[in-house]
Amino acid sequence: MVDKKYKYNIAVVGATGAVGRRMLVTLEERNFPVDRLSAFASARSVGQRLPFRGGVVEVKELREDSFMGVDIALFSAGSSISKKYAPIAVESGCFVIDNSSAWRMEKDVPLIIPEVNPSALGEKCGIIANPNCSTIQMVVALKPIHDQYRIRKVFVSTYQSVSGSGQKAIEELKQQSRNILDGKSVENHVYPHQIAFNCLPHIDVFMENGYTKEEMKMVNETHKILSDSTIEISPTAVRVPVFYSHSESVRVETELPMEVDEVKGLLSKSPGISLVDNPGENEYPLAVDACGKGEVFVGRVRADLTVDNAINFWVVSDNLLKGAAYNAVQIAELVLKRLGN
């Protein structure tokens, strides 16, 4: 958190969504210096009243003139909205921090995880991209290992909660679970198959190479964030019947030899990481424990049994917080530092 002398006009676009609501909470919890807060959404959400700092903010319809006088806009309304309105916001003199995939791989748009690559913010940027949720938690854990031992290969399997698909997916999991337990039939609308009591090795659309778009996001975004396209990454993304927080099993191969205790010590001192690694006492990162927290939790750190210079570990984080809203507000704090405040 940053102490500031000035206050700023902040806009949240997509304020009524799961991530947008978390953005409001995070701005409040981190005591962000908000002078005026504007909440925007689609026409069907106009008039909703959202809590903020003991009061309420009334939702307005997003329009092309919505950004006049706004200093920083946090976007979480989908790629099509970001593609249309982010440039308009920048033209109005506003910094945009975008949570969609619209701008992440654009050459001149920084893709930021504050604990990993804050210097990528640069001196001139109007749009700043927030990485994919599954990428963020993995790269926060990879960064100290890469700096110390130089990573060659990453094998990752994700176990992603339904909240990553929005509120409708949360409701679908709830309803399917009730129906199954009550002996009733199940309908699926958000996912191609039943998600309750099931696992779907399918997140986003399939690409020609057999990987999904979600999996390729992890590859491409990691290369951009770490500024190293030589790292070989093999991902498998799975949707699981968990409401909040993503979990990942990660295997890393490095150029230099590693000792497990040394890696644990390195991770425990790294910003944004909470090491939970005491399997003898059944202590390891859990989705239910990460929910509502901004850290990335790492545990089950152990040497790989098949090759030298390789370790395995388990990573868990709240996908709506560090994977989205919390990371976006941290980026906004970097912007304030750049503004000299």
> What's the one-letter identity of residue 279?
P
The verdict on whether 193 is a catalytic residue reads: no
**Distance (Å, whole) CA 8 – CA 1:** 15
Residue 126 burial by CB count (10 A; 0-12/13-18/19+): exposed, middle or buried? middle
Element (H, E) at 235: strand 232-239
Residue 133 falls in the annotated catalytic set: yes
Among 94, 125, 133, 291, the active-site one is 133
Report d(CA 314, CA 306) in Å as an integer: 18
Which of 94, 125, 146, 246 is the catalytic position? 246
DSSP collapsed to 3 states, 26-94: HHHHCCCCEEEEEEEECHHHCCCEEEECCEEEEEEECCCCCCCCCCEEEECCCHHHHHHHHHHHHHCCC
Catalytic residue numbers, as ranges: 133, 246
